[in-house]
Amino acid sequence: MAMRKVLVYVPVILSLVVLGAHFMRYGNTLAVVGVLLLIALLFVRLPWVARVMQAALVLGALEWAFTIYELVKMRAALDQPFTRMLIILGIVTVVTACSALLFQTPTLRKIYGFYRRERPENNAG
């Protein structure tokens, strides 16, 4: 059971690290610091943290999609091959987007304090 809790974080952390490397490649130090703070925030077990992570990962996937668009456009204009790059970054985009969905799994919902509340029964009869 404990191993499953650790493994569910692997795609999330991997997505954030790769996103941080992407920002570092383009010299965006502020975004790199933001990604590092997000990784540290994973240790805070509150519901709002899960939502912040989901938003950050969705924005990260959008960043990857925009990057794909820009790189394909540039390579096509220079008549350079882009298929392999498109496939690799497409996979990175999908993994990043799916990492956001992991916060909807029962394991992470429990870790971050999302409990299903039972509806009180109507005893008025």
How many domains does one find in the chain? Answer: 1
Torsion-angle region of residue 63: left (phi > 0), alpha (psi -120 to 50) or beta?
Answer: alpha
Answer yes or no: is 48 within a domain. Answer: yes
Q: Pick the closest to residue 15 from 80, 59, 50 (CA basis).
A: 59
65 burial level (CB within 10 Å; 0-12, 13-18, 19+): middle
pLDDT surpasses 80 at 121:
no
Is 24 among the domain residues?
yes
User: Does 56 map to a domain?
Assistant: yes
Q: Which of 41-45, 61-65, 111-115, 120-124 has the lowest mean pLDDT?
A: 120-124
The range of the structural domain enclosing residue 25 comes to 2-109
The answer to the question of residue 118 being in a domain is no
The pLDDT tens digits of the residues spanning 1-24 come to 577 788 999 999 999 999 999 999
Cβ 109 vs Cβ 8: under 8 Å: no
Question: pLDDT tens across 68-111, in order?
Answer: 999 999 999 999 999 999 999 999 999 999 999 999 999 999 99
Q: What is the pTM of this model?
A: 0.86
- Within the chain, what is the greatest distance between any pair of CA atoms? 76
Task: Decide if 90 is inside a domain.
Answer: yes
CB distance 71 to 27 below 8 Å: no
Residue 35 belongs to some domain of the structure: yes
Q: What is the DSSP letter of 102?
A: G
Tell me, yes or no, whether 119 lies in a domain: no
